[in-house]
Every structure is written in structure tokens, then in C-alpha cells.
Amino acid sequence: MRSRNIAWIIWHDKLLSRFSTILPDSADTRQVLRDLIDQYMQKKELLYQTWFTHSEERLKAFNQVRKGTKKIIETIRDASFLRDLHGSALETVMDVIASQEEIFKGAKHAFMWKPKMRIPDIYENRENQLAFAEMFDQILHTNNDLKMLMAVNELDKHKIKGLGPAVANILYFLEPTIFCPFNTKIVEGYNYLTHSKIRLGKWVDYFKLRDGVIELNQAGGLFSKDLGAVSAFLFDIGKLNYVVRENSEVYIKTENKTQKKIEEKLENDELKNLHYKIQYILADIGNNIGYRSWIASNDHNRHYQGNRLGDVSLARLPETINRLPIHIRETVSLIDVIWFSKNDLPIASFEVEKSTSIMSGMNRMDDFYQVNQNDMMLYIVAPDHRENEVLAQFNRPHYMRNHDLHDHIRYILFKDLIENYLSIKRFGKDFSILAAISHFSDGNPVK
């Protein structure tokens, strides 16, 4: 027995010799850490308060995971352990763990069977299954932390493909003062705070992390011995939920990216609103100069300044359109705005191209024009900065060679339409009023 105890001590000393002290041994450094932890513990929105101190689910999970782990051991040993995570005793345990706060959100994924890579290799390999069960059994039947660590080290010797320190998320719920949870954000938080380079995937790195976490916990002196608290602290640092000096630069970069996404979203929303504004203006002009306006069917429930676009549009396309082949009807129904005469003939159609492909809008009107070759005018309505794109499309061979089509197509710029909206609406008698703000396909003003 004495020789076995000596073996444990030698093994543990070797393990500890891999690690360097993570914090300078100074009162100032420890006070800084203590202040960081003290401020962290007071933040109601972070994991220490939401999960560690005020979660009944966390407390229930310890007993549930212990019972579930015993079931894992039992099913492995009696050979009833399933060939997949789904429906297994292991899944029951991982469901309990993954239902905790976001610190364990992705914990289950590591144990999902990935058939193409055949990992983790505990579903088909009997020897690996037994080693997995033996490790749990050893931990459940000892109070000696060295024996627990030896059990994990023994499992590591089997080099089970795809089975790494993610197992520590189960071990935490079995022995929370011995094992800390392990995931990407905890590792990142630890690396930020200690300037370490702990990696994912290997038990040797987990052991380094574990000893470092315990040292951090002791240096801070405010968390309990339950390693869930200090792990939550590290997770929130890694997730950038709690900003400290060591992760501030990363936070700023991430925040800048987030801000850029928000600005892009706002810009996109603004563009959408501008699109609806132009549709509304065109429909309103048409309705006031003797025509009946149609707005694309998929935009009827959009709003501009509280006005539903469908309320300034025909409820359905006229019979003259419904007699067309179905694929043409579908195309016509999606044209942004069409002006119909009182006898249901299309007089002018408009495609609003704020950011989408100008060519797609022109193609829709082209299809419509081919079956309605009368005096219908076709207008591309675009932002001022897209004028060159419009001209480039107008000068494609298809439009240049089709003289009849070429003579019926024009473009209008947003600025001109918006500035002259009320005047056109007031003084217009028919579509010819648009000549004042329209351009030929070569860019020259119509009038």
C-alpha cells in the first residue's frame, strides 16, 4: 500500500512540474484579481448570479448526473449501451448538463456520434467503452483527489479517438471541487487572464487548466471551492461578457464588428424603407393623374409612413393581365409599380432598383413588353449613385438592337422623383409629365 501511495505522489509531482505559476506572487497582483472577482460577483446579469448562486437547476443537476453516470456504467458493463448517443444513458446525462445556463450550452455536441469520422469511439469499441465506464466507477468510489486524477489519466492512456476533456463537464457534476468544466470560452477566458496558451482537445492541457484554475481561485479568495464559480468567471471573460484589461482589445474589435453589422442592418432597413417610399410615390402619382396603380403583390402589406402600400394599389391585376400565360402573370404581379388605364391597359411600368440587380428588373419588364407591344412605357427608377449601372444595362446588345423596346425604356433617378413628386401629382394629366424627370438610354434628359 505504501508503494502505491508513493506512486501517486510521484505521478502528481510530475503533473505539477509541467505547470508554472500563473500569477506573480505579489500582494498587488492578488488585490487586482480580488477586485476583478468582487466586481464580477455583483453583476446580476452574469453567470455567477444567474447560474452559480441562483439556479435551482444547477443544484438538482448534481444528483441527476450522479444517478445518470451510474446508469452509464451499468449499461456499458451489461452490454446494453447503445451504438449512438440518441436514447442512451449518456444522452440523459448530457441533456441535464446542456440544460444549464449558456456555460454548458454546447456540451452535448462532443458526445454525438459522427459516423463519417467514427467519433467519439465509445459506441463501437468495446474496450473503449469499458475504459470509459471504469474511469467513472473509480471516481464515484473514492474521496481521494489523486485517485480521481489517476482514473482520468488512465482513460487518457487509451487514446480514445474523439473523446477528450469534454468529459470534464460530466466530472464537474460528480466532483465540483476536483474538476472544473472545460470548453472553448473557459479556455479563452483563462488564456486572456493569465497570458497562457492552453489548447483544446488534450487531457494534458486540461490538467494545466485545472491546476491554474485552482490557483486562481485560491489567489482571488472570494469564490468557494466549487470550481463552477471561477469557471463561470472565466467563461464570462472568454465570452467577452465581462471586460477586463486582458480581453479589452478583443472586445473592442468584436464590438466594432457588431456595430458594423448593426449599421449595415440599419442601412439595409433604410434602403427598404426608401424602396417602399418610391413605390408609394409612384402609385400615388398614378392614381392622381388618371390611372389605376398596381403595386407588386408581395409588397401589399408593406408600409410607408403608416400607409399600407396595398391601400394605394389595385387589389388584383385586371382581366387583361389574367388572360396572359401563367408564367407571365406571375412575372407581372412582381413588377414594383404598373399604371393601368381605365380600360385596363398597361400604360407604364416601373422597377425600383435601390440595391438589387438592375438586369433582373429590366428582364421582368422586357417579358411583359413582349406580350404587350403597345404604347406602354418602361421605367427603371434608381438611386443617383447607380446611374452608371443603369446606363451599362441599357447599352447591352439585347436592348440596343431591339429598337422598338429601346425607344420605350427610360430611367428616373430617386432624387428627381422625390423632389418633384408633389408637382407631378398636382399638374400631371398623363404619363408624359414624367418626361421632365426622365432620361433616355444614353443618359440625356427626355425634356
Task: Check whether residue 251 and residue 400 sit in a common domain.
Answer: no
Residues 251 and 329 in one domain: no
Instruction: Tell me which of 355 and 320 has the higher pLDDT.
Output: 320
Let me know: does 127 contact 117? Beta carbons within 8 Å: no
Expressed as residue numbers, the domain containing 399 is 264-439
Statement to judge: residues 288 and 247 lie in one domain: no
b/e for 117-154, b at 16 or more Cβ within 10 A? Answer: eebbbbbebeebbbbbbbbbbbbeeeeeebebbbbbbe
**250 and 271 inside one domain:** no
Give the end of a domain, one of 204, 236, 255: 255
Give the Cα separation of 124 and 165 in Å (integer).
20
Q: 3-class SS at 437?
A: helix
CA distance 394 to 412: 13
pLDDT confidence band for 7 (50 / 70 / 90): very low
**Domain edge (last residue) among 207, 237, 255:** 255
Nearest 5°: CA angle at 109, between 105 and 111? Answer: 130
Whole-model pTM over 0.85: no
Same domain assignment for residues 246 and 270 = no
Instruction: Please check whether residue 227 is in contact with residue 213, taking contact to mean a CB–CB distance below 8 angstroms.
Output: yes
Q: Write down the mean pLDDT value for the chain.
A: 87
- C-alpha pair distances (Å), 34 with each of 38, 40, 137, 218, 311: 6, 10, 37, 10, 64
- Same domain, residue pair 274 and 249: no
- Using an 8 Å Cβ cutoff, are 429 and 382 in contact? no
Looking at the structure, tell me whether residues 321 and 301 fall in a common domain.
yes
135 Cβ neighbours under 8 A, 6+ residues apart: 151, 152, 154, 155, 167
Distance (Å, whole) CA 285 – CA 304? 15
Q: Do the domain assignments include residue 4? A: no
Contact call for residues 192 and 244 (beta carbons, < 8 A): yes
Q: How many domains does the chain have?
A: 2
Same domain, 268 and 251: no
Domain boundary among 197, 227, 255: 255
Question: CA 292 to CA 55: how far, in whole Å?
Answer: 62
For residue 232, being part of any structural domain is answered with yes
Q: How confident is the model at residue 19 (pLDDT cuts 50, 70, 90)?
A: very low
* Angle at 214 (CA atoms; ends 213, 217), nearest 5 degrees: 85
pLDDT of res. 2: 43
pLDDT, tens digit (0-9, with 9 covering 90-100), for 26-44: 677 888 899 999 999 999 9
